Amino acid sequence: MVAVGSGAENRIENAIRNIGSNLLVVGNGTRTESGRRTARGSVLTLTEQDAAALKREIPSIQVAAGSVAGEGQVIFGNKNWSTTLRGVAPDYFVARNWTIAEGRDITSADLRSVAKVALLGQTVVDELFGDAPAIGQLIRIKRVPVRVIGVMAAKGPAPWGSDQDDVVFIPLSTAKKRVFGGRQRRGDLLGQITVKAVSADAVKTVEREVTALLRQRHRIGANRPNNFFVRNVSELLEARVESARVMSSLLASLASISLLVGGIGIMNIMLVSVSERTREIGLRMALGAKQRDIMMQFVIEALMLSVIGGLVGVALGIGGSAVISQFADWPVLIGPDAVLIAVLFSAAVGVFFGYYPARKAARLDPVEALRQE
């Protein structure tokens, strides 16, 4: 149970690291039409100047990278794949902690020259090229020929289920001027700004400062709502971590009930043992055994019983965790501390619940005990 709970926590923490630590996402806002508010992002209010101002005026920001995104068909030879297209600046990959597995990164020179180059996520590479090399190949994105210059390291699924590797990155200028049409093509408008704080402790402060600066730049009055939103990604994921911890506590509570039931079983077995071995106890006392000797004998028996049961339980726990991981696709994490605590706790259960039968045996009157058949 501890392995299942720890595995869930570890999986979510890995998701936080994969998405990017100390991360804020600034998105476009909404508007009201005939008394009805539109969806988030329906009004493009963020600009490249906003991203530059955030980086320039807030010291606790390490990166503020603008981007635009959309869906599109990617074609190579007789293969095609519908995927997410994202126009980015080079700092975007710094904010997301995303590395290049092969090839090179998008550079500032690519942005200035509106270069027709692309970085592919691992899913897109698998769908279009299989085992063939992708670097240097010419693909078409919405009828625009683009040269593959790099392949991103695999990220895996996001916590909300989407495939982070199903994406094609192109320079921001190329996306706006050659690939995307409509509102995202006009001027310096952005789809979102990805902000990375210098440390985890600074994220809350950065969130407040970003909100204040953008309200000032967008000339939003004191009583008016924001025409943008700021989302703390780590905070959302940490809520899931807390949920996993609650689940771990629940599993631990269930395990505690099992231990209590097991302890009562040990006590009953030892009481039956005392009843069946009353004559033996009387004989030992008659030959000179003291009360502490009798008590120690039964405590050691209870201890050995529970320790052996604990070791068997550890083996079954490891095997059960492997089965859950294999067939239920659920992550498990077995730490040596959990194994050690399990064995020590089972020994403690044996001592605690074995004490009363041992004390009862030690207080038997030897004359009465010898009369028992």
Does the pLDDT at position 112 exceed 70?
yes
Q: What single string gives the DSSP state of each residue in 168-235? A: EEEEHHHIIIII--GGGGSTTB-SEEEEEESSGGGHHHHHHHHHHHHHHHTT--TTSPPSEEEEEHHH
43-96 pLDDT tens trace: 788 999 999 999 999 999 999 999 999 899 999 989 999 999 999 998 999 888
State the pLDDT at residue 158: 67
Does the pLDDT at position 34 exceed 80?
no
250-269 pLDDT tens trace: 777 777 787 778 778 877 88
Q: What single string gives the DSSP state of each residue in 252-304? A: HHHHHHHHHHHHHHHHHHHHHHHHHTHHHHHHHHHTT--HHHHHHHHHHHHHH
State the pLDDT at residue 57: 93
Q: Which of 46-50, 122-126, 169-173, 246-250 has the lowest mean pLDDT?
A: 246-250
Task: Compute the distance between CA of residue 161 and CA of residue 373 in angstroms, rounded to an integer.
Answer: 70
Does the pLDDT at position 236 exceed 90?
no
| 20, 92 Cβ separation under 8 angstroms | no
State the pLDDT at residue 319: 85
Rg of the Cα atoms in the chain: 33
Residue 168: band (very low, low, confident or very high) from pLDDT cuts 50, 70, 90: very high
Residue 1: band (very low, low, confident or very high) from pLDDT cuts 50, 70, 90: confident
Percent of the chain with pLDDT over 70: 83
State the pLDDT at residue 16: 59
Greater confidence (10 vs 300) lies with: 300
Q: What are phi and psi of 329, to 5 degrees?
A: 55, 45
pLDDT, averaged across the chain: 82
* Cβ atoms < 10 Å from Cβ of 336: 7
State the pLDDT at residue 88: 94
Q: What's the start-to-end Cα distance of the chain, in Å? A: 46
Residue 134: band (very low, low, confident or very high) from pLDDT cuts 50, 70, 90: very high
- What's at 78, amino acid-wise? N
pTM for the whole structure: 0.65
Does the pLDDT at position 98 exceed 70?
yes
Structural domain boundaries of the chain?
A: 44-226, 239-371
Angle, helices 336-362/291-327, rounded to nearest 10 degrees:
150
State the pLDDT at residue 320: 82
304-315 pLDDT tens trace: 888 888 888 888
Q: How far are the Cα atoms of 4, 258, 303, 313, 338 from residue 261, in angstroms, in the given order? A: 22, 5, 16, 15, 20
State the pLDDT at residue 277: 75
| 73, 124 Cβ separation under 8 angstroms | no
313-361 pLDDT tens trace: 888 888 888 787 777 666 677 778 778 877 887 788 777 877 777 777 7
